Structure 1
Amino acid sequence: MPTTLASIKKSLEDRLGSPIMLTAQTGRKRQTERKGVLTETYPSVFVVDLDPDENSFERVSYSYSDVLTRTVEIEFLTEAV
């Protein structure tokens, strides 16, 4: 991933609508993986609509600083056609 907040925001804006896998650090040696679609970007946060079959809630948002500090890791998924 890019190394500045502006470049992280720009790279996410370029991939709106893409399926992604998020790996979030939730505590000491704990991680949460979520699969969804990148739907919106705002000045400070981005929003992901989650897969309803795998998650109990519909949307989640993270800040760009979470990506910069590697609290959240993003992997873009490619769909086989």
Structure 2
Amino acid sequence: MADRNTLGEIKKTIEGYLGKRVTLKANKGRKRIVVREGILEDTYPSIFIVKVFGDFDTDRKVSYSYCDILTETVEITICENNRPIKVS
């Protein structure tokens, strides 16, 4: 079972990268993996929001929970100074 401190540490780490470019790799089940790039826009007590780049007419935003990172359903990589930093 996840410890509250562990989720809190993940949240603090993500809060430190607000406004940075990220790459998300999400496991959607049944061998479906979605890779998205965007900007880490905001954090909330249970979720974080990423503004997704793409060929859309409107802004798209996706949200994931910190538990998704803990259970490795979502892998987030921060692109800072042209070198990736994996958040786990």
Report TM bin, short chain: 0.7 to 0.9
In structure 1, the residue matched to 2:68 is 66
Q: Map 1:25-36 to 2 at 5 A.
A: 25-36=27-38
Stretches of 4+ moved more than 2 A in 1?
none
Q: In the alignment, residue 34 of structure 1 is paired with which amino acid?
A: R
Q: TM-score, normalised by structure 1?
A: 0.85
| Structure with the larger strand share | 2
Q: What's the % identity of the aligned pairs?
A: 47
Structure 2 unaligned residues grouped into runs of 5+? 83-88
* 1:4 maps to amino acid: T
TM-score, normalised with respect to structure 2: 0.79
| Residue ranges of structure 1 left out of the alignment (5+ in a row) | none
Q: Matched residues in 2 for 1:45 and 1:60: separation?
A: 10
Query: Paired residue for 1:75?
Result: 77
Kindly tell me the number of residue pairs found equivalent between the two proteins.
77
1:7-36 C-alpha deviation (Å, 9 max, x unpaired) = 000000010001000000011222000000
Please name the residue that 2:85 is paired with: none
